[in-house]
């Protein structure tokens, strides 16, 4: 079964710290991996998209890396701010292996609930 795991489940750090969120997946046959942010009761905001052929993507204070062979991705947040407090979800677009369809869905991890203390 293709699964995505995120560690830690929750994280609370003081403002200004650099931090790393981890994502692992069970099958290296992926198209891409996407990191999302979700505020409580709200929608999913895409942060970074990494293709299977790429090693990292950067956007502002965010940097995401991908090691497809080991099934891992990390999201690095520099100089954290209270506004970064949210749940961060890792989602993988696996190759479709068992479905007859042509549009495969994303498989999500359970997320890391991040709190940045002022």
Partner 1 sequence: AAGVIQSPRHLIKEKRETATLKCYPIPRHDTVYWYQQGPGQDPQFLISFYEKMQSDKGSIPDRFSAQQFSDYHSELNMSSLELGDSALYFCASSLERQDYGYTFGSGTRLTVV
| Footprint on this chain of partner 1 (rule: CB under 8 A) | 31-32, 34, 36, 41-46, 49, 51, 89, 91, 93, 96, 99, 101-111
Q: Which is nearer to partner 1, 1 or 118 (CB)?
A: 1
Residue found by looking up tokens 């830690």 in the block: 8
The length of the chain is 118
Q: Which is nearer to partner 1, 10 or 20 (CB)?
A: 10
- Are 33 and 6 in contact by the 8 Å Cβ rule? The answer is no
Q: Which is nearer to partner 1, 15 or 22 (CB)?
A: 22
- Shortest Cβ 9–partner 1 spacing (Å): 11
- In the sheet that 4-7 helps form, which strands lie side by side, from edge to edge? 4-7, 19-25, 72-77, 62-67, 56-59
Beta strands 4-7 and 62-67, pairing class: unpaired
């Amino acid at each position: 079964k293709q699964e995505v795991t995120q560690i830690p489940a929750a994280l609370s750090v003081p403002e200004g710290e650099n931090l790393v969120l981890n994502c692992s997946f069970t099958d290296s046959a992926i198209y891409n991996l996407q990191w999302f942010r979700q505020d409580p009761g709200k929608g999913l905001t895409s942060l970074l998209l990494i293709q299977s052929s790429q090693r990292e993507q950067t956007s502002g204070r965010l940097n995401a890396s991908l090691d497809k062979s080991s099934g891992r991705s990390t999201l690095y947040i520099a100089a954290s701010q209270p506004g970064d407090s949210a749940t961060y979800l890792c989602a993988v677009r696996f190759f479709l292996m068992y479905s007859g369809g042509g549009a495969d869905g994303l498989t999500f991890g359970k997320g890391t609930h991040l709190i940045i203390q002022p």
